[in-house]
Structure 1
Amino acid sequence: MVLKSLSDEDRANARAKALRSRGRRAEIKEAFRQGTMDIGEILELGATDEAVGRLRVADLLEAVPGIGEVRATALMEKLGISPNRRVRGLGRKQQAALIEHFSQ
């Protein structure tokens, strides 16, 4: 597949958009870590916010204190979530399982 060449302006716009998206995802992970946002709010936001929707579930789980890569992987396996799944790609049952897990 041949990619179209971008002008310098288009490239700068894409770079700025990527930077905003990374910043937004970092804000969401920090809010989840601090407890100012719960998993239900993040899942709702992921349906409308492109940056949040593209956040990997594993990265979100790893933002929680005490959950590292190994525990996040084990939790996702237990809940039936693929390791490379993103927030927007979660099904209803997977979302419900995450909400139930974090409500305990």
Structure 2
Amino acid sequence: MALPTLTPAQRSEALKKAAAVRKERGEILSQLKDRKVTLEEVLKREGTVVGKIYVRRLLEALPGIGKVRAGQLLDEHGISQSRRVQGLGARQKETLLKTLSSRP
């Protein structure tokens, strides 16, 4: 299926919208890294911006968790490397939060 042809105005509007979503996603990850918001609060947020973030990227934004530890956590909980937040089940969220809340 071919993508529709956009007018220059429609293309400009779509680019602005995409930039705004990327900025909001970056702010969420930055707040998580700076401990202004907890992982639990982020996971409870409803909306497409949080839902579209990869779980791995969300974990890597946590202080003290790098690429290796994030990968280990995903493997431990049976979560795919390409899973997005919106695709997490209730049990997966619960066990992830339980594991991360018990770490120093």
TM over 0.5: yes
TM-score between the two structures when normalised by the length of structure 2: 0.90
**Matches of 1:102 and 1:32, distance apart in 2:** 13
In the TM superposition, residue 40 of structure 1 has moved relative to its aligned partner by 1.4
1:24–1:52 Cα contact (<8 Å) kept:
no
Residue in 1 that maps onto 2:51:
53
Deviations 1:9-46 (A, max 9, x none): 1111111111111111111111111212111111111x
Secondary structure (helix, strand or coil) at the match of 2:83 reads coil
Percent sequence identity over aligned pairs: 39
Displacement over 4 Å in runs of 4+: none
Aligned amino acid, residue 68 of structure 2: V
In the TM superposition, residue 65 of structure 1 has moved relative to its aligned partner by 2.8
Taking only aligned residues, the RMSD between alpha carbons, in angstroms, comes to 1.1
Q: How does 1:1-104 map to 2 (within 5 A)?
A: 1-45=1-45, 48-104=46-102
| Unmatched segments (≥5 aa) in structure 1 | none
Judge which range, 13-22 or 63-72, deviates more: 63-72
1:56–1:87 Cα contact (<8 Å) kept:
yes
Deviations 1:24-83 (A, max 9, x none): 1111111111212111111111xx221111011111111123322221111111011110
